[in-house]
Chain A
């Protein structure tokens, strides 16, 4: 280890690396050291998990802090999860053993004494979540200058998990506020396992400033994967569609549980699922099988609703040297070091390619290892009685498309047009709390002109302030300064304020005063839709957003539910186009098992029988199925135009719109005439129910809510483009 990069490091760091018996510095580490020492650029370092990204950032960064110390915190590391912070904390403590750089962590589970110590004598490196950072900005205002006044580096871990969402906006806004208050301008280092477009990520992190990109050019690891299909018997599913909720099982469930047991019982594995119910259900099933076979149970569950001690037990089990398989939600998706995994499981279609890549990255972390992934998809056997969309096995198709895109090394880019008034509200209140009060124009400059909400113009901003005033969240002093109103004070001082995401966004489903259960909402639908809950079908009478209640009536209709009981994720256009390509192609994926292959040929046959490729409009009986082959936002826009402006009876599925009682010609004519009237997406948005999806949306005036919905969930330009080609 005598490369020129190594020699740039501070002697104390060099010594530490010697004592840890480090081999050669990896190429990304060499490159990062050179970039940090020889340029002033910000950095984005993209490499696979366990490729030494953290060290790539911190070796040069700690060296610089050692040779050129600052008062207060030299570097602030921001991570998306507590568990990840704990993990990185121990790694950094080791790196700093031979130097006197202090390493601190700060999140909900860190003791008050440790926090006090840091606030009184801030130095070294701080590891923190955006939520805890928010709390610092509000509650330790007097200490901010001493803590962050000279901070030289901000390191954002799992950068991709912040891009294009509320938490990312919050993170950037916090540093815009600090920059304004303290005139500090640290260098940024973003770390990411996978990124679709590195340029975009750099631009998102530091717009208009030079960002160097460092990409791990090492050979990608081998990926071994299998997609296992399961078909439920057709009769059973129609009688009892919500089998997950009821304890009753069928033979297919048992087969799937047995496969899970046999395939995962001797592995070190994570099995990801999209809903907590499903995780619990299968964990219970495999536990029973283990019991019946007198086999020690290696299966655990890990998700956000479990207590911290439970989760920590599971994390500890993963570090032990014996087979352990954990049914988990996205809480373990990030780069927490859970030891070397031999296998990753995915129940159901992943909700995005990003997420799939991230999950895949958890397996085979040693370089040279093969990453192993098993995707398990279960669908009800479709017969001629089923509607066309069901017969295309959309979840299998979605999983297939996402796996293929992963193999193509594509993943979703951030939504650059995102409008986030909800997080802006949080930041307005937080900034006012931080300063004790300031004029409207200063709030605007800090958060918008010099901040991250650049999509908001000053009249929208003034409108928003007035709305906050009406809700008693803010008040104005006689000389003009905005201060927190009485209700604003309460909100800001509540523990939930720090997070941009709502903790429990569930709706209670009520029939004649009786609580049936809870579901999470999907955007923009449901006003007159259907849902399945407690094994029965319900027609939605009314959605009371403020109270979080959905009023329902028992339904006879055979229509499919609009609620899924899980978080909703929009499909990117690329995913839908890939699905289309695969549907009409004849590619035979080697990684499909027999049932999956059977499902694939069946759905291709259905597509061919109905001639979907030749004509995306399929008339069957009174129903017209339209496959616009567009992303969710565009498809939702088309749906809204037909439904709210055209007065057509239409529902939305993953890849198609289903019209009841309208012919293809009627639909096309309707859309063409609508497209001619220069349709306004905000006006269309105003007709959608259930638009309050983000945490502080309840405080938004209707007009701003519509603008936000139009920007985030509709795509009028693309819709017009689709209509042009009809």
Chain B
């Protein structure tokens, strides 16, 4: 498989800082074949007008975000539109203070299509739809056809859904702006679709619609949006929510948490019972998010029964008929292949340019295992960061010997970046640095 220099750069830079590369994932992906197959089946079902829901569960650093990004790339390949957002205390599924609207806004700002894989695809999706419709109408009715009538006609299927009328009205406003090259009106329509209007009165003045996308309506609008993208020639919408553990563990308000779980339950029921079409939801979270009986999804009884594990799926047996995907730890072989792949990326798949011989993998892995202990298998993130760091040094210092460098590589267990102390120098030797309750 050929590796593009652009992909190489993205992969190395991302892995070095412990985040998932946006492109080129196929070059480094290892293992989890069954899990990937399950997702591919889900995507096919969505494309055929069905629905899917998955809870992607794994430890901190086990590759949940990697898996969600991989799913996104697979979905883009299948001509789906993908919306992706992290849950934070200020971006959540249910809220009354604008936090749900903020989540929706974040999803709309992170819309990807195959042509625009890095987000920001909202206006291109709409314009593609208008162009298609334009062409279709003209070919059917000839020049001078009334496109605004055709638009209302085309959007009729949306109007059966809740809030469909307003949604269709804003889209026709967008068309009007497109025709008259009214950038300001176009921006207003986009602003409305991105849920950035806070006041109904403003939306009414700018666009003549009575409603706005509010906290209580974001799920309705996601369903509408899924319907719309399929009208616009895509195969459906995949919505990825990462960091669900924020809901269970960082949102420290029990009633708010339960309201969010109720929303999850609503989505789960709709997807499993076939009430929604052309849409899929992936929720990424830790074991604690799922199973903590006091604050995880299991604390919400209706979810606990629906998400309970198949009692026979033990000892490595897998069951993907339920909505939960447990990301098992990578095996020794998986890690070996992963390091191999990383070496391959560095060399742009040119075997003559490999920075280290095969034996380096074993040495590196046993070094990691001795430093990180059990963490080694469970959180590949830190192992990979270390290995990419080692490779970078070797690349810049061709005279260096990997065996010598290995002893000097430092492996750090990742901390959440936004809450680092004010001054790092002060943390040395403090009993609180490695504090455990």
A binding-site residues for B, Cβ under 8 Å? 120, 141-142, 180, 432-433, 435-442, 444-446, 449-450, 458-459, 461-462, 465-466, 469, 474-484, 486, 488-490, 492-493
Contact = CB atoms under 8 A, between A and B. Distances in A.
B99 A442 contact: no
A481 B420 CA distance: 11
Listed from nearest, the 4 A-B pairs whose CB atoms lie closest are: A436-B250, A440-B435, A469-B437, A438-B419
Interface residues of B, number: 40
Contacts of A180: 422
Contacts of B59: 478
Interface string B235-261: 000000000011001111110000000
B391 to A, nearest CB: 26
Nearest to B420: A442
A254 to B, nearest CB: 57
B415 A480 contact: yes
Interface string B249-280: 11111100000000000000000000000000
Which label, helix, strand, loop or mixed, suits the secondary structure of the A interface?
helix
Contacts of B90: 141-142
Contacts of B198: 120
A446 B420 CA distance: 11
Given A458-B430, A458-B431, A474 B250 contact: no
Nearest to B245: A477
Contacts of B437: 465-466, 469, 474-476, 482
Q: Which of B249, B431, B435 has the most CB of A within 10 A?
A: B435
B64 interface: no
B5 interface: no
Given A444-B432, A478-B59, 14 more contacts: A142-B89, A432-B252, A436-B89, A440-B435, A441-B435, A442-B421, A449-B426, A465-B435, A477-B60, A478-B286, A479-B60, A479-B416, A489-B252, A493-B254
B415 A489 contact: no
Interface of B: 59-61, 88-90, 97-99, 198, 245-246, 249-254, 286, 288, 294-295, 413-416, 419-423, 426-427, 430-433, 435-437
Q: Which of B250, B415, B426, B427 has the most CB of A within 10 A?
A: B250
20 contacts: A432-B252, A436-B252, A440-B432, A442-B420, A444-B432, A445-B421, A446-B422, A465-B437, A469-B437, A474-B437, A476-B436, A478-B286, A479-B416, A480-B436, A481-B416, A481-B419, A483-B250, A489-B253, A490-B254, A493-B253
Nearest to A436: B250
Nearest to A141: B89
Contact of B415 (A461, A465, A479): A479
A140 to B, nearest CB: 8
Contact of B294 (A439, A461, A486): A486
Contacts of A432: 252
A441 B436 contact: no
B437 to A, nearest CB: 4
B435 A435 contact: no
Contacts of A490: 254
A462 B422 contact: no
Contacts of B250: 436-437, 483
A142 B102 CA distance: 11
Nearest to B91: A142
A489 B252 CA distance: 6
A435 B246 CA distance: 11
A478 B252 contact: no
A477 B432 contact: no
A488 B294 CA distance: 13
Contacts of A437: 249-250, 419
B336 to A, nearest CB: 26
Contacts of B99: 142
A141 B246 CA distance: 15
B295 A486 contact: yes
Q: Which of B88, B419, B422, B437 has the most CB of A within 10 A?
A: B437
Nearest to B286: A478
A436 B92 CA distance: 13
B421 A478 contact: no
Contacts of A441: 421, 427, 430, 432-433, 435
Contacts of B61: 479
Given A141-B89, A436-B252, A459-B431, A478 B60 contact: yes
Nearest to B433: A441
A444 B250 CA distance: 19
Contacts of B98: 142
B431 A462 contact: yes
A230 to B, nearest CB: 55
